[in-house]
């Protein structure tokens, strides 16, 4: 104890007496606190800011040039002690949002972090109502701030999941702010393709910030968010469509292009239909991974329930399982799913049925497919004819809105029949096409024809009436002539 | 059979003294000359009015004069009721021909100076019926409650509102409120099927009685000629049958128009929708509508539109009172001024109608 | 001879004219009366009501069931919920224009084409429908259910 005291005294004498003018130019805060061996100064030793010769006083205020504690840490010199609440971030912003200052330190960091974070959910929301939900130090640390590419930094790609999880996996904490937000993202992430690579210290694999952004993190419902449904495909494609980036991984890079022209992509991008599936709808988001062969129909079935159900009850289920065919994908493909047309059905070359069914192989299915196709084709033609007739009648000025209304049922039968294909049962299919579709269509056709006939009936009726009226007029004229002849004669 | 009719006639004759009526009609003569053709247009107008009454009553069986149902009920008439399309189309076409026939009838009377003493009252009732016919057209136009009608009524009643002093209250009275709403529809429906027909029928009875009592007017140049020099034709049955023939021909024209150009319905009126482009009144209002467009925004300190409306009002009153300021015709002297005025009016109406049509 | 022939011709002409006149009058009466009577004959569809349609009698609609009612030229689904509330929505599925139906087992409004589901407030809750169903107003007039457009 005495020894320590002695050393202290010596240091004190030496520092104060001998090298006072030299130390006056040095960071007196750090020197003293370093000697004290407190935790902040211990951490600060590796801090990028210390290396840039930025003193403690830059954040804590006070006079770093004075070795007199009373002067250095006096409020007169602007000492503020430990900044609280938003003041913490204000200290960072003071320099990091000032391009000139940053340049002065030779930094090539962007100076827009504050601008970006202003729009983030972390900045806009507050639990206490007085301060942002987080400060810069929440992610970057306070005293041991390292460069982002330093593997020890909490915001290095390999560490980000853990850093975010500090709060996001804390159910008690998250409840304060958004009780309905799940807290299992990290757990899921670790099961995902990205998470597994991340665990293997592959910093190229996507971490939280790659999808959600770093400073400008918006809620998923924010239309500008990188994870808003319409933005997700681009977000994923940023890596997955980059040939150079994906070079080392043995997966294709054309998913985005295929998706863009698929029925789902068109629904999303052109019709702005937010219920259209995007990448994460099938692959999962935090637990992103390709669905396995056996789970494809479940994934598609979350939206296309009826089709999946019918398929599961169909004879194809067993056959596909045995041959290990992916269920929906075998006929509809995956990223480039296009609108299913009647062309898929039947035995022609472009029809998918003929991949397995032919006149010599699996003959029963071959026959059914051919008949199904001819059924749906005849319904299509009947509907087209009905529409043409209704059009014609309407153009002739006839009112047949009721028949037009009933044609909806035929349209519906068409759609239902297309769904019913997935039962791969000719009887069920027939029941809908014939019992529902063709029945309605033929009655609509009859009505439209009757309406067109009525149009001609009006013309003929007019002709007859004109004849009759003219005849009467003529008779009267002859009569008048007769009278006048009698009068004059 | 013949006996039966004779007996029936006898039965009525005993009670109503029909013989006198027949005698009167047999003795009534219609002058025959190169202008005789114009005599027929009064009859044609009468026939078209009868058609209007008949088809109007028929339409009443299905039409519903309320905001929610007016449009739909007409749609119903056009599609669900057998021959509904025919009845409605005849009603609209007949309305147009009716006004056209009245125009011709009125101008022929003017040029022949047939309004001169002693037929002043006939002229006044006629002109009043002409005004009423325009009122029929205006009120009937709104009844389908479609987009075009809605905005045409709005514009039309706005013009009425331009009249100083009485205009604004009159507009509110017409509209049944500040704006064109369901209340306007009920109101104009009432005018169209009850008030106007009642007034019109009274005027028509007076008009026809006077024509029968005073006989047909002769052109002025025949006055002073000897009786045997004048050609004439008995009103009954000769002229009456000719009338009938013409009526049948008009009926033919109506049937053709109704079948080939059935009335359209358009879109249901939506008070909050923006006014569709090219709102035009019916053709018989077009010349007034077009004239008002040519008035400058301000004449001295009065609004141009107000001046226009006042001028038309003054012209209407002068028109109504023609027999009273044209003393010369009543004295049997030639009055070329009237011809010039009439000619000017015809040209004015035709030119401005065409301009309005083209614009 | 000459005279009588003339007379005969005259007689013939007179008869012809008589027939022509009678025929003309009869024909004309027919031509006018036929459309007139047809017009007055009550049409098949009793009456026009489009801004409000009748959804039938309440006593005929069971609890926890629904039915399709024609509203102008579009269908409307009327549902009497298990809590005895009446709801009506446009019955055209917002996905691909199929007509929806009430599915008792699931307690939802259901579209048979692609298994779209809507809750009883018309919100799309499952399947492909992108938007909720347009609600209609339902009022009870005695025992009669009246459906009208929401303004």
Q: Which chain B residues are within 8 Å of A461, Cβ to Cβ?
A: 259
Q: Do A469 and B251 touch (CB under 8 A)?
A: yes
Closest Cα of chain C to A417: distance in Å? 8
Residue A481 contacts C, CB cutoff 8 Å: no
Contact A282, A291 (CB under 8 A): yes
**Token duo for residue B6:** 């004779």
At A2, the pLDDT band (50, 70, 90 cuts) reads low
Residue C28 contacts A, CB cutoff 8 Å: yes
Residue C106 contacts A, CB cutoff 8 Å: no
Distance CA(A45)–CA(A39), nearest Å, equals: 10
Q: What Cα–Cα distance (Å) separates residue B187 from each residue in A24, A299, B39, B67?
A: 99, 63, 36, 11
Strand partners, C116: C111
Q: Which residues contact A92 (CB under 8 A, 6 or more apart)?
A: A59, A136, A137
Q: Which chain C residues are within 8 Å of A275, Cβ to Cβ?
A: 124, 128-130
Q: Do C48 and B84 touch (CB under 8 A)?
A: no
Q: Do B83 and C48 touch (CB under 8 A)?
A: no
Q: Which chain B residues are within 8 Å of C41, Cβ to Cβ?
A: 82
Residue C113 contacts A, CB cutoff 8 Å: yes
Q: Taking the domains of chain B in order of start, what are their residue ranges?
A: 32-287
- The answer on C15 and C82 residing in a single domain is no
- The answer on C121 and C74 residing in a single domain is yes
Q: Which chain A residues are within 8 Å of C124, Cβ to Cβ?
A: 275
- The answer on C57 and C37 residing in a single domain is no
Which contiguous run of DSSP H or E holds residue C125? strand C124-126
Q: Do C35 and B86 touch (CB under 8 A)?
A: yes
Task: Tally C-beta pairs within 8 A across B and C.
Answer: 44
DSSP string, A10-28: HHHHIIIIISHHHHTTS-H
Question: Testing the interface with B: which of C38, C48, C49, C137 to mutate, by most B Cβ within 10 A?
Answer: C48
At A6, the pLDDT band (50, 70, 90 cuts) reads low
What is the reported pLDDT for A153? 92
- The answer on C92 and C20 residing in a single domain is no
Distance CA(A138)–CA(A170), nearest Å, equals: 14
> Nearest CA to B358 among B304, B280, B285, B295?
B280
Show the domain range for C11. 1-41
At B79, the pLDDT band (50, 70, 90 cuts) reads confident
Q: Do B80 and C44 touch (CB under 8 A)?
A: yes
At A18, the pLDDT band (50, 70, 90 cuts) reads very low
Nearest Cβ partner of A483 from B79, B237, B256?
A: B237
Q: Which residues contact A17 (CB under 8 A, 6 or more apart)?
A: none
Strands (DSSP E) along B125-170, which ranges?
A: none
What is the reported pLDDT for A12? 52
Nearest Cβ partner of A480 from B238, B248, B249?
A: B238
**Token duo for residue A149:** 């590419």
SS3 A395: helix
Q: Do A416 and C126 touch (CB under 8 A)?
A: no
Residue B81 contacts A, CB cutoff 8 Å: no
**Token duo for residue B88:** 């409605």
Q: Which chain C residues are within 8 Å of B241, Cβ to Cβ?
A: none
Nearest Cβ partner of B68 from C39, C45, C51?
A: C51
User: What average pLDDT does range C72-94 have in this prediction?
Assistant: 83
- The answer on C130 and C80 residing in a single domain is yes
Distance CA(A241)–CA(A254), nearest Å, equals: 6
Q: Which chain B residues are within 8 Å of C35, Cβ to Cβ?
A: 82-83, 86-87
What is the reported pLDDT for C5? 59
Q: Which chains touch B (3 or more CB pairs under 8 A)?
A: A, C
Indicate the fold that domain B32-287 takes in CATH: Cytochrome Bc1 Complex; Chain C (1.20.810)
Strands (DSSP E) along A68-153, which ranges?
A: none
Residue A464 contacts B, CB cutoff 8 Å: no
Q: Do C39 and B82 touch (CB under 8 A)?
A: yes
> Nearest CA to B200 among B132, B137, B127?
B132
- The answer on C26 and C1 residing in a single domain is yes
Give the residue carrying structure tokens 């009022």: C139
Task: Tally C-beta pairs within 8 A across A and B.
Answer: 45
> CA B223, B224, B227, B230 torsion: positive or negative?
negative
**Token duo for residue A399:** 């009112």
Residue A68 contacts B, CB cutoff 8 Å: no
Residue A309 has pLDDT above 80, yes or no: yes
Per-residue pLDDT of A439-469, as tens digits, reads 999 989 998 998 899 888 889 999 999 999 9
Do the bridges between strand C135-141 and strand B302-303 make them parallel or antiparallel, or are there none, so unpaired? unpaired
Q: Do C49 and B72 touch (CB under 8 A)?
A: yes
User: What average pLDDT does range A141-152 have in this prediction?
Assistant: 89
What is the reported pLDDT for C51? 63
| DSSP state letter for A285 | S
Residue A20 has pLDDT above 50, yes or no: no
Cβ within 8 Å of A, C 122-151: 124, 126-130
Q: Do C39 and B86 touch (CB under 8 A)?
A: yes
Per-residue pLDDT of B108-135, as tens digits, reads 999 989 998 889 999 999 999 999 999 9
- The answer on C127 and C76 residing in a single domain is yes
Q: Which chain C residues are within 8 Å of B62, Cβ to Cβ?
A: 48
Q: Which chain C residues are within 8 Å of B82, Cβ to Cβ?
A: 35, 38-39, 41, 43
User: What average pLDDT does range A107-123 have in this prediction?
Assistant: 89
Q: Do B252 and A472 touch (CB under 8 A)?
A: no
Residue A56 has pLDDT above 80, yes or no: yes
Nearest Cβ partner of C24 from A409, A464, A472?
A: A472
Distance CA(A139)–CA(A172), nearest Å, equals: 19
User: What average pLDDT does range C6-12 have in this prediction?
Assistant: 71
Closest Cα of chain C to A325: distance in Å? 24
Among A74-78, A205-209, B22-26, B335-339, name the most confident range. A205-209
The answer to whether position C120 is within a domain reads yes
Nearest Cβ partner of C114 from A409, A411, A419?
A: A419
What is the reported pLDDT for C69? 82
Q: Do C20 and A401 touch (CB under 8 A)?
A: no
- The answer on C59 and C23 residing in a single domain is no
| DSSP state letter for B237 | I
Q: Which residue has the higher pLDDT, C64 or A166?
A: A166
> Nearest CA to B283 among B95, B110, B91, B111?
B95
Q: Which chain B residues are within 8 Å of A476, Cβ to Cβ?
A: 241, 244-245, 248
What is the reported pLDDT for A25? 56
- The answer on C61 and C129 residing in a single domain is yes
Question: Testing the interface with B: which of A394, A396, A397 to mutate, by most B Cβ within 10 A?
Answer: A397
What is the reported pLDDT for A26? 72
Distance CA(A120)–CA(A208), nearest Å, equals: 15
> CA B104, B110, B113, B115 torsion: positive or negative?
positive
Q: Which chain A residues are within 8 Å of C6, Cβ to Cβ?
A: none
At A17, the pLDDT band (50, 70, 90 cuts) reads very low
Contact B153, B142 (CB under 8 A): yes
Contact B163, B310 (CB under 8 A): yes
Give the residue carrying structure tokens 């009947």: A382
| DSSP state letter for A263 | H
Q: Do A305 and C30 touch (CB under 8 A)?
A: no
User: Mean pLDDT lowest for which of A44-58, B83-97, B212-226?
Assistant: B212-226
Q: Which chain A residues are within 8 Å of B237, Cβ to Cβ?
A: 480, 483
> Nearest CA to B120 among B346, B343, B330, B345?
B330
User: Mean pLDDT lowest for which of A4-13, A415-424, B126-135?
Assistant: A4-13
- CATH label of the domain that carries residue C87: 2.102.10.10
What is the reported pLDDT for B99? 96
What is the reported pLDDT for A5? 65
> Nearest CA to C54 among C84, C82, C76, C81?
C76
Q: What Cα–Cα distance (Å) separates residue B335 from each residue in B110, B111, B288, B310?
A: 11, 10, 27, 27
User: Mean pLDDT lowest for which of A10-24, B27-41, B325-339?
Assistant: A10-24
Per-residue pLDDT of B289-343, as tens digits, reads 899 888 887 877 888 888 888 899 999 999 999 999 988 888 888 888 999 999 9
Per-residue pLDDT of C122-149, as tens digits, reads 888 877 787 888 888 888 877 888 888 7
Contact C64, C82 (CB under 8 A): yes
Per-residue pLDDT of A352-404, as tens digits, reads 888 888 888 888 889 999 999 999 999 999 999 999 999 888 887 777 777 88
Strands (DSSP E) along chain B, which ranges?
A: 29-31, 232-234, 298-299, 302-303
Residue B81 contacts C, CB cutoff 8 Å: yes
Distance CA(B32)–CA(B349), nearest Å, equals: 30
- The answer on C62 and C30 residing in a single domain is no
Question: Testing the interface with C: which of A410, A471, A475, A478 to mutate, by most C Cβ within 10 A?
Answer: A475
**Token duo for residue B164:** 């100083």
User: What average pLDDT does range C11-39 have in this prediction?
Assistant: 88
**Token duo for residue A266:** 């068109």
How many independent structural domains does chain C possess?
2
Contact B218, B118 (CB under 8 A): no
Q: Which chain A residues are within 8 Å of C75, Cβ to Cβ?
A: 405, 408
Residue A1 has pLDDT above 70, yes or no: no
The answer to whether position C47 is within a domain reads no
Contact A120, A104 (CB under 8 A): no
Closest Cα of chain C to A407: distance in Å? 11
At A14, the pLDDT band (50, 70, 90 cuts) reads very low
The answer to whether position C101 is within a domain reads yes
Contact B279, B153 (CB under 8 A): no
Residue B138 has pLDDT above 90, yes or no: yes
Residue B231 has pLDDT above 90, yes or no: no
Other CB atoms within a 10 A radius of the CB of residue A387 amount to: 18
Question: Testing the interface with A: which of C20, C23, C25 to mutate, by most A Cβ within 10 A?
Answer: C20
Distance CA(A407)–CA(A404), nearest Å, equals: 5
């Amino acid at each position: 104890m005495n020894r320590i005291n002695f050393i202290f005294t010596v240091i004190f004498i030496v520092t104060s007496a001998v090298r006072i003018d030299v130390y006056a130019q040095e960071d007196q805060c750090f020197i003293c606190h370093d000697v004290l061996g407190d935790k902040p100064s211990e951490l600060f030793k590796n801090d990028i800011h210390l290396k840039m010769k930025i003193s403690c006083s830059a954040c804590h205020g006070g006079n770093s040039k004075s070795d007199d504690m009373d002067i250095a840490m006096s409020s007169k010199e602007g000492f503020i002690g430990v900044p609280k609440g938003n003041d913490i971030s204000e200290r960072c912003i003071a320099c990091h949002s000032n391009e000139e200052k940053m340049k002065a330190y030779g930094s090539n960091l962007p100076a827009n972090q504050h601008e970006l974070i202003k729009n983030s959910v972390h900045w806009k929301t507050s639990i206490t109502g007085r301060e942002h939900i987080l400060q810069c130090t929440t992610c970057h640390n306070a005293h041991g701030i390292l460069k982002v590419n330093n593997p020890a930094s909490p915001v290095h790609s390999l560490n980000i999941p853990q850093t975010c999880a500090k709060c996001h996996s804390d159910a008690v904490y998250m409840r304060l702010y958004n009780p309905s937000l799940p807290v299992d993202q990290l757990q899921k992430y670790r099961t995902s393709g990205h998470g597994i690579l991340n665990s293997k210290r592959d910093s190229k694999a996507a971490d939280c910030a790659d999808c959600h952004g770093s400073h400008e993190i918006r809620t998923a419902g924010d239309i500008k968010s990188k994870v808003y449904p319409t933005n997700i495909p681009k977000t994923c494609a940023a890596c997955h469509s980059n040939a150079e980036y994906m070079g080392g991984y043995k997966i294709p890079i054309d998913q985005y292009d295929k998706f863009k022209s698929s029925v789902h992509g068109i629904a999303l991008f052109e019709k702005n239909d937010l219920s259209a599936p995007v990448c994460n709808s099938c692959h999962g988001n935090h637990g992103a991974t390709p669905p396995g062969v056996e789970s494809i129909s479940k994934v598609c079935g979350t939206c296309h329930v009826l089709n999946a159900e019918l398929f599961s009850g169909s004879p194809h289920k067993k056959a596909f399982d045995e041959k290990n065919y992916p269920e929906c994908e075998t006929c509809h493909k995956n990223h480039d799913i296009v609108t299913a047309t009647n062309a898929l059905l039947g035995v022609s070359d472009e029809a998918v049925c003929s991949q397995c069914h032919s006149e010599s192989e699996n003959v029963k299915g071959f026959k059914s497919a051919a008949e199904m196709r001819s059924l749906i084709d005849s319904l299509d033609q009947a509907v087209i004819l009905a529409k043409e007739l209704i059009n014609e009648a309407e153009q002739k000025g006839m009112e047949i809105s009721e028949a037009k209304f009933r044609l909806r049922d035929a349209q519906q039968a068409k759609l239902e029949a297309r769904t019913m294909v997935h039962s791969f049962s000719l009887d069920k299919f027939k029941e809908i096409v014939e019992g529902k579709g063709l029945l309605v269509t033929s009655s609509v056709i009859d009505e439209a024809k009757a309406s067109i006939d009525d149009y001609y009936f009006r013309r003929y009726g007019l002709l007859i009436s004109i004849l009759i009226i003219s005849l009467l007029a003529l008779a009267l004229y002859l009569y008048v002539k007769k009278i006048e002849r009698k009068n004059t004669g | 059979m013949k006996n039966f009719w004779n007996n029936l006639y006898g039965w009525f004759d005993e009670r109503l003294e029909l013989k006198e009526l027949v005698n009167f009609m047999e003795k009534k003569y219609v002058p025959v000359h190169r202008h005789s053709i114009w005599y027929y247009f009064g009859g044609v107008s009468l026939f078209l009015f009868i058609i209007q009454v008949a088809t109007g009553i028929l339409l009443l069986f299905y039409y519903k004069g309320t905001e929610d149902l007016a449009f739909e009920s007409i749609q119903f008439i056009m599609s669900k009721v057998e021959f509904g399309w025919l009845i409605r189309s005849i009603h609209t076409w007949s309305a147009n021909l009716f006004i056209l026939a009245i125009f011709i009838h009125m101008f022929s009377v003017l040029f022949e100076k047939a309004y001169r003493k002693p037929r002043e009252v006939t002229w006044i009732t006629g002109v009043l019926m002409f005004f009423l016919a325009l009122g029929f057209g205006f009120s009937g136009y709104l009844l389908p409650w479609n987009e075009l009608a809605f905005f045409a009524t709005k514009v039309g009643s706005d013009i009425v509102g331009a009249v100083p002093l009485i205009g604004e209250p009159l507009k509110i009275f017409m509209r049944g409120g500040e704006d064109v709403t369901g209340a306007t529809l009920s109101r104009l429906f009432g005018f169209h099927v009850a008030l106007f027909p009642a007034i019109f029928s009274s005027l028509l009875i007076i008009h026809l009685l006077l024509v029968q009592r005073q006989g047909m007017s002769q052109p002025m140049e025949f006055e002073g000629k000897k009786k045997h020099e004048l050609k004439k034709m008995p009103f009954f049955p000769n002229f009456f049958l000719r009338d009938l023939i013409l009526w049948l021909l008009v009926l033919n024209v109506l049937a053709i128009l109704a079948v080939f150009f059935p009335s359209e319905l358009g879109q249901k009126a939506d008070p909050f929708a923006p006014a569709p482009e090219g709102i035009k009144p019916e053709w018989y209002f077009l010349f007034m509508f077009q004239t008002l467009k040519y008035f400058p925004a301000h004449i001295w300190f009065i609004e141009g539109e107000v001046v226009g409306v006042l001028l038309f009002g003054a012209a209407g009153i002068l028109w109504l009172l023609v027999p009273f300021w044209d003393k010369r015709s009543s004295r049997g002297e030639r009055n070329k001024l009237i011809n010039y005025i009439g000619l000017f009016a015809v040209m004015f109406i035709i030119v401005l109608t065409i301009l309005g049509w083209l614009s | 001879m000459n005279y009588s022939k003339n007379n005969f011709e005259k007689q013939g002409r007179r008869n012809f004219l008589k027939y022509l006149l009678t025929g003309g009058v009869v024909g004309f009466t027919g031509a006018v009366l036929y459309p007139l009577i047809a017009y007055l004959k009550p049409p098949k569809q009793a009456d026009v009501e489009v801004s409000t349609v009748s959804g039938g009698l309440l006593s005929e609609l069971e609890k926890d069931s629904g039915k399709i009612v024609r509203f102008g030229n579009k269908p409307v689904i009327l549902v009497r919920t298990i809590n005895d509330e009446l709801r009506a929505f446009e019955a055209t599925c917002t996905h691909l224009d199929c007509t929806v139906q009430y599915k008792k087992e699931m307690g939802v409004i259901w579209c048979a084409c692609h298994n779209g589901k809507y809750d009883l407030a018309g919100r799309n809750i499952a399947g492909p429908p992108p938007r909720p169903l347009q609600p209609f107003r339902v009022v009870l007039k005695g025992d009669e259910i009246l459906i009208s457009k929401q303004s």
